[in-house]
Copies of this chain bind each other. A is one copy, B any other.
Amino acid sequence: MKPSTHAHSRPPQALSALTGRLRGQSRKITGPRQAILEILRRHPHPMTNREIFAAMPKGRCDLATIYRAMHLLEEMGMVQRFDFGDGTARFELVGEGDDGHHHHLVCTRCAGVVEIDECFLREIESRIAARNGFKAVTHKLEFFGICPECQR
Contacts and interface: CB of A to CB of B under 8 A. Distances in A.
A16 B126 CA distance: 41
Contacts of A148: 132-134
A116 interface: yes
Interface residues of A, number: 36
A128 interface: yes
A138 interface: yes
A68 interface: no
Contacts of A55: none
A133 to B, nearest CB: 4
The residue among A114, A124, A134, A137 with the most chain B CB atoms within 10 A of its own CB is A134
A136 B120 CA distance: 20
